[in-house]
């Protein structure tokens, strides 16, 4: 039931800090000693390929970055509908991400990829699903039912669960030591508070920003490094429920073409992970009259979220992602859609579970 919330999307966004805390209560005792990974009985691997669609693919990319940045594991991400067995080899472990576990593109990709891989680990919100049934190793991301078509709380749950699995795998396979794993686990434990803080700050600020951009038909989302996938997720959410055009780019790509789109008032939403190179990208936007909206970082439009340089980090969470930055992006998309009179829970043309290719 959505209770006092205006819509399921609002409820599911609000639930994120509590879901994060619940997941971590369950997982934290099993991360730094490697027992979470060992309990999956997954095969040995040299490389990781994440597989998914839409928001689940984005969650997978964050998790892949954790494997890569924290443990030096080569990773690729595979858009399930474009999967081709030529990219895999027997040293590659497939990490399949699917909220529903019933997405046809994933099932079809697994037919192709699994036989030429090291094996399959499924991360899903439905452990009784088709994807889960065909995986020997299944991780329940434990977000509870998600009713809104736009994935929100399941993104957060997939990322936290997947990064916990990554840290546990790295220590269990001797790629990092226990004290490093403990520091990384301490970073994860901070996430419920960071998500709650992001909610509080964003709810105060986002409506005013939406006022200013209500009449705009196109939006640009930028990030650098770990921030890029969050820019992509923000743009996906906006397209999906507000039906406005949204593009995402690594900020460094702007000058290679998309900058031509920017004119007076063009909204440019930036996930600021503290990368000093963002400043020159943003001044290029501002010089053309673009409306820069920054998430995270000192003096940002939506402060106190994102990988602020000032955030005290223990284990290196800045290397895999500013998870709490997704909260203002979700709220921004929802607020804009509501102001346009749209149904945020049931966007046109879309289904919660996509069972056709």
Distance of CA 241 to the CA centre of its chain: 17
54 binds ligand M6R (CB under 6 A): yes
Round to whole Å and give the CA distance between 355 and 235.
Answer: 24
130 binds ligand M6R (CB under 6 A): no
Q: Which residues within the stretch 338-357 sit at the binding site for ligand M6R (CB under 6 A)?
A: 353-354
DSSP 124: E
The residue within the footprint of ligand M6R, chosen from 150, 170, 304, 307 (CB under 6 A), is: 150
Q: Which residues within the stretch 100-129 sit at the binding site for ligand M6R (CB under 6 A)?
A: 100, 103, 106
240 binds ligand M6R (CB under 6 A): yes
Pick the piece of the chain touching ligand M6R (CB under 6 A) from 83-91, 94-102, 164-172, 307-315: 94-102
Is residue 313 a contact partner of residue 218, using CB atoms and an 8 Å limit?
no
Q: Where are the beta strands (DSSP E) in 193-320?
A: 218-223, 245-250, 267-271, 291-295
Smallest distance, ligand M6R to C-beta of residue 240, A: 5
329 binds ligand M6R (CB under 6 A): no
3-state secondary structure of 38: helix
| CB closer to ligand M6R, 170 vs 235 | 235
CA distances from 204 to 230, 288, 335 (A): 21, 28, 12
Is residue 95 a contact partner of residue 121, using CB atoms and an 8 Å limit?
yes
Smallest distance, ligand M6R to C-beta of residue 330, A: 10
98 binds ligand M6R (CB under 6 A): yes
Smallest distance, ligand M6R to C-beta of residue 235, A: 11
Closest residue to bound ligand M6R by CB: 54
3-state secondary structure of 58: helix
Size of the site for ligand M6R (CB under 6 A): 15
Is residue 160 a contact partner of residue 154, using CB atoms and an 8 Å limit?
no
| CB closer to ligand M6R, 240 vs 318 | 240
* Residue 116 exposed, middle or buried by CB count within 10 Å (0-12, 13-18, 19+): middle
60 binds ligand M6R (CB under 6 A): no
| CB closer to ligand M6R, 98 vs 273 | 98
168 binds ligand M6R (CB under 6 A): no
* Residue 257 exposed, middle or buried by CB count within 10 Å (0-12, 13-18, 19+): exposed
| CB closer to ligand M6R, 313 vs 354 | 354
Token representation of residue 252 = 């460094």
Residues within the interface to ligand M6R (CB under 6 A): 53-56, 98-100, 103, 106, 149-151, 240, 353-354
């Amino acid at each position: 039931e959505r209770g006092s919330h205006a819509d399921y999307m609002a409820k599911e966004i609000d639930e994120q800090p509590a879901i994060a805390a619940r997941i971590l209560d369950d997982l934290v005792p099993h991360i730094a000693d490697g027992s979470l990974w060992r309990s999956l009985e997954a095969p040995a691997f040299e490389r990781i390929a994440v597989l998914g669609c839409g928001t689940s693919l984005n969650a997978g990319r964050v998790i892949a970055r954790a494997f890569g940045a924290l443990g030096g594991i080569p990773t690729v991400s595979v858009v399930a509908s474009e999967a081709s067995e030529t990219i895999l080899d027997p040293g590659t472990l497939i990490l399949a991400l699917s909220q529903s576990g019933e997405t046809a593109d994933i099932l079809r990709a697994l037919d192709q990829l699994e036989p030429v891989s090291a094996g399959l680990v499924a991360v899903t919100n439905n452990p009784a699903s088709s994807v889960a049934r065909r995986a020997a190793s299944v991780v329940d991301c434990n977000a509870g039912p998600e009713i809104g078509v736009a994935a929100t709380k399941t993104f957060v749950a997939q990322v936290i669960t997947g990064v916990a699995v990554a840290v546990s795998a790295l220590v269990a396979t001797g790629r990092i030591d226990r004290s490093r794993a403990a520091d990384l686990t301490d970073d994860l434990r901070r996430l419920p508070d960071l998500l709650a803080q992001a909610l509080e700050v964003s709810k105060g600020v986002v409506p005013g920003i939406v006022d200013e951009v209500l009449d705009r038909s196109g939006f640009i989302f930028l990030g650098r490094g770990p921030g890029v996938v969050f820019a992509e997720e923000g743009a996906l959410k906006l397209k999906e429920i507000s039906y406005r055009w949204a593009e995402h780019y690594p900020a460094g790509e702007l000058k290679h073409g998309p900058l031509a789109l920017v004119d007076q008032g063009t909204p440019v939403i930036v996930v600021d992970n503290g990368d000093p190179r963002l400043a020159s990208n943003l001044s290029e936007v501002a010089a053309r009259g673009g409306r820069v909206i920054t998430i995270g970082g000192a003096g940002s439009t939506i402060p106190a979220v994102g990988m602020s340089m000032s955030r005290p980090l223990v284990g290196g969470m800045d290397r895999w992602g500013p998870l709490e930055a997704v909260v203002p992006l979700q709220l921004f998309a929802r607020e804009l859609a509501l102001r346009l009179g749209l149904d945020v829970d049931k966007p046109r043309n879309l289904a919660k579970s996509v069972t056709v290719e």
